[in-house]
Structure 1
Amino acid sequence: MFIKDKLSHFLHRSRSFHAILLVFLLAGAFQAVAQRPRSRVDQLSDEDVQNFYRKAQASGLSEVQIEQAAMSQGYTLDDIAKMRKRMAQIRTLTSLPQNQLPKESFKGSRGLPSDLSMRSDTLEVDSIRKDTTKKLKVFGASLFENAKMSFEPNLRIATPRNYIVGPDDEIRVDISGASTGDFQLKVSPDGTVKVPDLAPIFVSGLTIEQAEQRIIARLRQGGYQGLGRPGSGTSANVTLTNIRSIRVILVGEVVRPGTYTISSLGSVMNALYLAGGPNPETGSFRKINVVRGNRVVRTLDLYDFILRADQRDNIRLQDQDVIRVADYEAHVELTGQVRRPAIFEILPGETLKTVLAFAGGFGDDAYRASITLRRNTARERRIVTITEEQIATFVPKAGDKYNVGKILERYENRVQVAGAVMRPGDYSLEPGLETVRQLITRADGLRKDAFTNRATIVRERADMDRENLSFDLGKLMRGEVADIPLQSQDSLTVLSIRELREPYYVTIEGAVNMPDTIDFIANMSVADLIAHAGGFQEGAKPNLIEVARRIRQDSAGIRKTMMEIYRFAIDRDLQITPMEATPGSSPEFRLQPFDIVYVRTSPNYESQRQVMVYGEVMQPGNYAIANRQERIGDVIKRAGGLKPEAYMAGAQFRRNGQLIGNDLRDLIANPNVEENLLLQDKDTLYIPRRSEIIAVQGAVLNPSSISFKEDFKFDDYISEAGGFTDNARQRKAYIVYPNGRKDRSHSFLFFVSRPRVDPGSIINVPFKPIDSNRLTAGERIGIFSLLATVSIALINVLLR
């Protein structure tokens, strides 16, 4: 961006940051910032700083005067230091192009003049938004919309030998060898350079090569004998260091016409970019004239640069050159299946083939047989169909709109084969593949499971309806019937015998390691299926295997038997012997589809079952259930009996994790009590110590835990908890004993009988249910008022 380049160059040239203080000099510059009072440095935006700099740059004051002027405006040394830091940050963030390196970066480097024009939108890159509309764009317009592209000349290349020297150019002459010297010569406004002790040398209008020869010749006359001649031992190197600026004028249909200051190395593209390029709505991208001395010296066609990177006409400009962008002659639109749909500019003599080349040619799915044209006539539009043969000679006209269609989703020579063939898929209808037999042969023949009694062809009729053609494929393949010719879009389907039946499977259940249902395999025996299921479990009874088989044969009437049952005895080595004289129950017995094999479990085989006893017993732990008659009392004895601290009234017996309400207090003294339950697998028995706590919960004022007292009754504990609440259901209060049993209050008339309280019990007082239908105070008042009104009305009626 030009502002940043000028700023960086100026900073290096002055060898300090003092020059930036010019921004504080001009009162008008301060008024430009919305007429606000004196601003501190941190209140200025980057754009403000650079705008101040541009206005102050031409003042010509010295650095001391600049600093004094800033302080006279009320700025302190801290403000000046902040300004230096601010400009240093801007300079750090500024990325200089390679062709605009500062002059001090290396000896003899080339710099740009400080008064170059800049593109007006370079400071608004962040505000540029992509055009999200689907409007077709003019081809080439996007080239100048990219704010990061500048077409600036490269200053690090060697000076072109045909470069024309002019005022403000700086030429450096470096003499080395037997004699030395270093001269920095600036071309004066009258076109001369001045070497000390020598007459002025006129170089304006000469090429750099001619100027070099003239300067060296004058130096020879001034005492450098033999300079630049072979064998003299003295050589001279003439280079162009700082180049001048030139002014060019852009007129015609450009985005921003006007006069621009550019580098003397600038080209036509450089100037066009500064002006925003041709106007996409009215300007020509193909007829850009460079006028020099009232004569057109070159005509630039941007399509040559965009499509072929041809820069032959991108010539270097000279001072006072005029670039004129003419009006476009004809625009045509090309849309559809092309690689670059756009609006294209055409010149006389160009054909539709040329426009297609501008668009990158047809797309991959383009319909190439014809192109549809919508053309304007004197009164209306008309449709024109352009065939593929006419494209090369068809001449477009202004306003034409061409559309390239997409090919149809159909095939002109496709036939398909699916099903029980070796290679199903799509095939081309061609000589050698024109019949059903030839298609099956091309598909590597039929599979062994092919159902040859019937095959079908789905064919597309002329009206695009489809019809089904069925035939005996076996007879066709054997030549017993005539072969069937195929047509385009035919689809042949060969069924498989497996597709015409229910899926076959067999099932094995019972005492095997992996009960499963698997696909039926012919010639499979019962032993094979048991092996597939992982073999017998330990509790299996191999001498009793049953096979249940469906009755698949049809018969007259209704059969009494629902299925056939076969029994076998198999040893653990999977050797089968018939158990009964049942037809088919032999070592050669083979399974059929849908058979179910049952492997029974031995009646005397059971895995270990155990119960857990813990708490106040002598030997807590897990105990195996020895027999089917073992009870709770038996396992307590096996656990060594009870400890002295055991509290049998609170013993908790659980089955499947659920607490069973059971009073085991009399169990030890009388094993025949009904509470002495039979044990089951995973039962647990917990015998606690005596608990001295009574918990009171629910609708009491202070739910809490209370110490057990022998002389306390149910209501005493309620009183200890603060008594009942207003919404307590007192007659429904109940108690949960530590062994899981429960007891409730009993009421008769006005008398309520409370249950006894044992240590460790929990007293629960339920709440009354919320009456959602209860009337509010306001509703009751309203009803009373209504009743009073009705009563008064009735009295008045009766008194009449």
Structure 2
Amino acid sequence: MRTTDKLSRYSQFINPFYLGLVLLLLTGIQQASAQRPRSRVDQLSDEDVQNFYRRAQASGLSEAQIEQAAMSQGYTLDDIAKMRKRINEIRTLTSLPQNQTANSTGRTLPYDLSSRVDSVPGRNVRKDTSRGLPVFGASLFENANLSFEPNLRIATPRNYVVGPDDEIRIDISGASTGEFQLKVTPDGTVKVPNLPPIFVAGLTIEQAEQRIIARLRQGGYQGLGQAGSGTTANVTLTNIRSIRVTLVGEVVHPGTYTISSLGTAFNALYLAGGPNPETGSFRKINIIRGNRVIRTIDLYDFILRADQRDNIRLQDQDVIRVADYETRVELTGQVRRPAIFEVLPGETLKNVLAFAGGFGDDAYRASITLRRNTTRERRIVTITEEQVASFVPQRGDKFIVGKILERYENRIQIAGAVMRPGDYALEPGLETVKQLIARADGLRKDAFTNRATILRERADMDQENLSFDLGKLMRGEIADIPLQRQDSLTVLSIRDLRERYYVTIEGAVNNPDTVDYINNMTVADLIAQAGGFQEGAKPNLVEVARRIRQDSSGVRTTILETYRFSIDRNLQITSLESNSPEFRLQPFDIVYVRTSINYEAQKQVTILGEIMQPGNYAIYSREERISDLIKRAGGIKPEAYISGAQLRRQGQLIGNDLRNALNDPSAEENLLIQNGDTLLIPRRSEIVTVQGGVLNPSSVSFKSEYNFNDYISEAGGFTENARKNKAYVIYPNGRKDRTHKFLFFNSRPQVEPGSTVVVPFKPLDTNRLTAAERIGIFSLLATVSIALVNVLVR
């Protein structure tokens, strides 16, 4: 048999509706509809409805009073239905924490739960910003991912105390079946159809289950829940009631909060923002029930050891009081968690170090520096390692853990020509130079044993150098030298006492280079290491240049020695002089491999334009000239403009007139061609360009009857600042011709097709006087003249 209470069925929809509606009545829609027609729910924005819903939670009016007041203010049943629909839609879209619906277990939370204060727009939890160090534990309640909300998917705790608004579901199966959804009424009872009310308020869920099953047996379910009866009952808690708890004292946001009846102390503290980091205690948080402290919470137990024994489940009207802190100290420096810690009576500095996670890896543990406040000033206290366990901190203490020095109490070093250079410990069995060398696996073969040095630190931290004959020490001819802390022994290598030995190969080899010298290296070895001969190499002439090492009296006329060899491409060497074929290279030798006289890589030129066969052509002779190249290219085309032919060498235009070169191959204009030259023979250009000091610089068509002045006229004539006598013409072949002056006559250059006429500008006269300056000077001269005349007359 299934029973359903209509009021409980629709309470999840009615409650949010009435909460929103009451705010409309209390505020008179002051903010939401001040500029809109009154009493229409669909004119409110979603934000208005959300704000009304949150602020209406503390109204205190009953549902009947709210509905009656709404009707008296002109709200119709349609308005009431719209408000219910709007609240349900917004609840689904925004997923507000207080509007959680049933989860997979079928259990739901009430809709009037409080939200964390900083989740409300415009309000933020106050954080500790007054100190440089964080208060230990304050970040616990600033983490949005750590809300301590109860888990609805767990089984109902057997010690859960039933109260009004809880909903209990009873499923009967077996020989008899039935299902009951029972809501605990405000007077603490549940109503089973055809049975007297059953009082369950104040009982645990286990006790309530036993009482309900006993009453069902009396109502017709014989043997229910008894062994052998074949009928079983399953009692679960579905909808959970809300409870109100009050947080007072030094919390970030004190007040009364509505939480789930499964909520715990940490859940309530999180909603209120936790203890105030500036004044609140994290270790003395009292839970008061019935004017009696039932539990004192120390948050350090949870933070440091994950101990949740004090995180008890709250009951309706519980009070959580956060006391003021009594003693706080700062711990900084080389510890794992520098912070401000709260200290309880009886705790020592050792406990504070444990709160901070202990010393850091580089901490100086022999002593800790304390800065303590006195009644008038501060003083420094040094706490030794033995005093840490018994030292009692006081309010305002600042402990500083220093860092160990970059020094070693027993280090000695060895470097240079030993097998294992590095740092070693000065200890019994390793106290002398010979013992240190033995520990480093002995000397290398290149060790210079005539002298070794010890760099030693003196008492005043200055350094001194101790030199000795290492060979004699190793042979026992002199006494072994005892070592001291911070001694550094250096054994030189014979390579450290000479220049770097190298040999060089240059010329026609594939990889010319300078390489390290190797004993017994021959010329052929070096050529092989350089990648062998190039194609154009002349192997029968290889030269070696050698420094002169022997000292002699006087100054020699020769500054080096040379040796010549013939080497075939199989690297078989033959001396060209009286040198031995077994010739060996010495340090700093330079080997030169010459190139064959007639060997040259291909060189080419490019000819383009109005030519019979344009393209790239190889230079076959050192005497090949421009006219020869044009003949090889098949000659020029009839429309070619020889006067405008351009020769470019390394990108630069070479001024040259090819007409003379073609008419007379012996003419000086018939230049020798070089690698990379480009010869362009264009078509005749019909344009003449006028630039520079003319009124209208432009390009005009070429006219055979025009002279220089005609083209200037075509460009509008000279400007005032034009240098007429310096005008010149640039011909298309790169040559230039300027204006020539004889007495009072100017001889202008000839203009050809494709030419450019250039008229330079006069330089700017920055020293030229202005009109006002000239008038002033004339006035001064006139005054001086009049004065002189008067003097002469008198």
Distance 1:119 1:684, change over 3 A: closer
Correspondence for 1:725? 719
Question: 2:543, 2:565 within 8 Å by CA — same for their partners in 1?
Answer: yes
Q: CA RMSD in A?
A: 3.6
Correspondence for 1:454? 451
Distance 1:156 1:781, change over 3 A: same
Correspondence for 1:738? 732
1:285-305 CA deviation, whole Å, 9 max, x = no partner?
223333333333222222111
Question: 1:21, 1:66 within 8 Å by CA — same for their partners in 2?
Answer: no
Q: Give me the whole-angstrom Cα distance separating, in 2, the residues matched to 1:466 and 1:490.
A: 10
Deviation at 1:237, TM superposition (A): 2.0
**Counterpart residue identity of residue 514, structure 1:** N
Correspondence for 1:410? 407
Secondary structure at the aligned position of 1:325 is classed as strand
Correspondence for 1:512? 509
Q: Give me the whole-angstrom Cα distance separating, in 2, the residues matched to 1:625 and 1:266.
A: 99
Range with bigger deviation, 157-166 or 255-264:
255-264
Instruction: State which of 547, 550, 553 in structure 1 corresponds to 2:550.
Output: 553
Deviation at 1:714, TM superposition (A): 1.9
Correspondence for 1:51? 51
Q: What does 1:125-144 align with in structure 2 at a 5 Å threshold? A: 135-144=132-141
Q: Give me the whole-angstrom Cα distance separating, in 2, the residues matched to 1:759 and 1:80.
A: 97
Question: 2:693, 2:719 within 8 Å by CA — same for their partners in 1?
Answer: yes
Distance 1:443 1:82, change over 3 A: farther
Deviation at 1:418, TM superposition (A): 1.4
**Counterpart residue identity of residue 247, structure 1:** R
Determine if the alignment matches structure 1 residue 761 to structure 2 residue 762. no
Deviation at 1:734, TM superposition (A): 1.3
1:205-264 CA deviation, whole Å, 9 max, x = no partner?
222212221122122222222222222222222222223333334344434444443333
**Counterpart residue identity of residue 275, structure 1:** A
Correspondence for 2:534? 537
Q: Give me the whole-angstrom Cα distance separating, in 1, the residues matched to 2:265 and 2:213.
A: 33
**Counterpart residue identity of residue 732, structure 1:** K
Distance 1:765 1:268, change over 3 A: same
Deviation at 1:733, TM superposition (A): 1.5
Q: What does 1:360-375 align with in structure 2 at a 5 Å threshold? A: 360-375=357-372
Range with bigger deviation, 545-554 or 155-164:
155-164
Question: 1:451, 1:497 within 8 Å by CA — same for their partners in 2?
Answer: yes
1:698-749 CA deviation, whole Å, 9 max, x = no partner?
3333333333333222222222333323332222121222332221111223
Question: 1:23, 1:29 within 8 Å by CA — same for their partners in 2?
Answer: no
Q: Give me the whole-angstrom Cα distance separating, in 1, the residues matched to 2:44 and 2:426.
A: 78
Q: Give me the whole-angstrom Cα distance separating, in 2, the residues matched to 1:670 and 1:763.
A: 29
Superposition TM-score, scaled by structure 1 size: 0.88
Deviation at 1:590, TM superposition (A): 0.9
Question: 2:42, 2:82 within 8 Å by CA — same for their partners in 1?
Answer: no
Deviation at 1:409, TM superposition (A): 1.0
Question: 2:264, 2:311 within 8 Å by CA — same for their partners in 1?
Answer: yes
Correspondence for 1:710? 704
Distance 1:673 1:603, change over 3 A: same
Correspondence for 2:178? 181
Deviation at 1:84, TM superposition (A): 6.0
Range with bigger deviation, 446-455 or 42-51:
42-51
Determine if the alignment matches structure 1 residue 286 to structure 2 residue 283. yes
Deviation at 1:587, TM superposition (A): 0.7
Correspondence for 2:21? 22
Correspondence for 1:629? 623
Q: Give me the whole-angstrom Cα distance separating, in 2, the residues matched to 1:125 and 1:444.
A: 73
Aligned length: 780
**Counterpart residue identity of residue 506, structure 2:** E
Determine if the alignment matches structure 1 residue 673 to structure 2 residue 676. no
**Counterpart residue identity of residue 50, structure 2:** Q
Q: Give me the whole-angstrom Cα distance separating, in 1, the residues matched to 2:242 and 2:561.
A: 110
Distance 1:228 1:678, change over 3 A: closer
**Counterpart residue identity of residue 534, structure 1:** G
Correspondence for 1:589? 583
Range with bigger deviation, 756-765 or 452-461:
756-765
Instruction: State which of 309, 313, 330 in structure 1 corresponds to 2:310.
Output: 313
Determine if the alignment matches structure 1 residue 161 to structure 2 residue 158. yes
Question: 1:18, 1:67 within 8 Å by CA — same for their partners in 2?
Answer: no
Determine if the alignment matches structure 1 residue 784 to structure 2 residue 775. yes
Correspondence for 2:460? 463
Deviation at 1:32, TM superposition (A): 4.3
Q: Give me the whole-angstrom Cα distance separating, in 1, the residues matched to 2:433 and 2:9.
A: 87
Correspondence for 2:434? 437
Q: Give me the whole-angstrom Cα distance separating, in 2, the residues matched to 1:693 and 1:86.
A: 86
Distance 1:789 1:355, change over 3 A: same
Distance 1:125 1:757, change over 3 A: same
Question: 2:16, 2:53 within 8 Å by CA — same for their partners in 1?
Answer: no
Secondary structure at the aligned position of 1:156 is classed as coil
Range with bigger deviation, 193-202 or 651-660:
651-660
Range with bigger deviation, 529-538 or 119-128:
119-128
Instruction: State which of 690, 699, 705 in structure 1 corresponds to 2:693.
Output: 699
Superposition TM-score, scaled by structure 2 size: 0.89
Q: Give me the whole-angstrom Cα distance separating, in 2, the residues matched to 1:666 and 1:796.
A: 73
Distance 1:655 1:383, change over 3 A: closer
Q: Give me the whole-angstrom Cα distance separating, in 2, the residues matched to 1:83 and 1:704.
A: 85
Q: Give me the whole-angstrom Cα distance separating, in 2, the residues matched to 1:398 and 1:18.
A: 53
Secondary structure at the aligned position of 2:117 is classed as coil
Deviation at 1:408, TM superposition (A): 0.9
Q: Give me the whole-angstrom Cα distance separating, in 2, the residues matched to 1:766 and 1:618.
A: 40
Determine if the alignment matches structure 1 residue 94 to structure 2 residue 95. yes
Deviation at 1:550, TM superposition (A): 1.0
Correspondence for 1:31? 30
Secondary structure at the aligned position of 1:524 is classed as coil
Correspondence for 1:497? 494
Distance 1:797 1:484, change over 3 A: same
Q: Give me the whole-angstrom Cα distance separating, in 2, the residues matched to 1:603 and 1:15.
A: 111
Question: 2:536, 2:595 within 8 Å by CA — same for their partners in 1?
Answer: yes
Correspondence for 2:5? none
Correspondence for 2:379? 382
**Counterpart residue identity of residue 714, structure 1:** F
Deviation at 1:610, TM superposition (A): 3.6
Distance 1:346 1:629, change over 3 A: closer
1:628-675 CA deviation, whole Å, 9 max, x = no partner?
333333333444444444443333333333332222323344333222
Distance 1:640 1:757, change over 3 A: same
Q: Give me the whole-angstrom Cα distance separating, in 2, the residues matched to 1:134 and 1:319.
A: 37
Correspondence for 1:5? none
Determine if the alignment matches structure 1 residue 609 to structure 2 residue 608. no
Question: 2:49, 2:87 within 8 Å by CA — same for their partners in 1?
Answer: no
Correspondence for 2:594? 600
Secondary structure at the aligned position of 1:30 is classed as coil
Distance 1:241 1:722, change over 3 A: same
Question: 2:127, 2:277 within 8 Å by CA — same for their partners in 1?
Answer: no
Unpaired runs of at least 5, structure 1: 1-8
Question: 1:289, 1:296 within 8 Å by CA — same for their partners in 2?
Answer: yes
Q: Give me the whole-angstrom Cα distance separating, in 2, the residues matched to 1:609 and 1:117.
A: 92
Distance 1:217 1:477, change over 3 A: same
Q: Give me the whole-angstrom Cα distance separating, in 1, the residues matched to 2:41 and 2:112.
A: 26
State the percentage of identical aligned residues.
72
**Counterpart residue identity of residue 664, structure 2:** N
Question: 1:547, 1:565 within 8 Å by CA — same for their partners in 2?
Answer: yes
Determine if the alignment matches structure 1 residue 771 to structure 2 residue 783. no
Distance 1:680 1:501, change over 3 A: same
Q: Give me the whole-angstrom Cα distance separating, in 2, the residues matched to 1:503 and 1:327.
A: 76
Unpaired runs of at least 5, structure 2: 1-7
Correspondence for 2:109? 112
Correspondence for 2:63? 60
Deviation at 1:135, TM superposition (A): 1.8
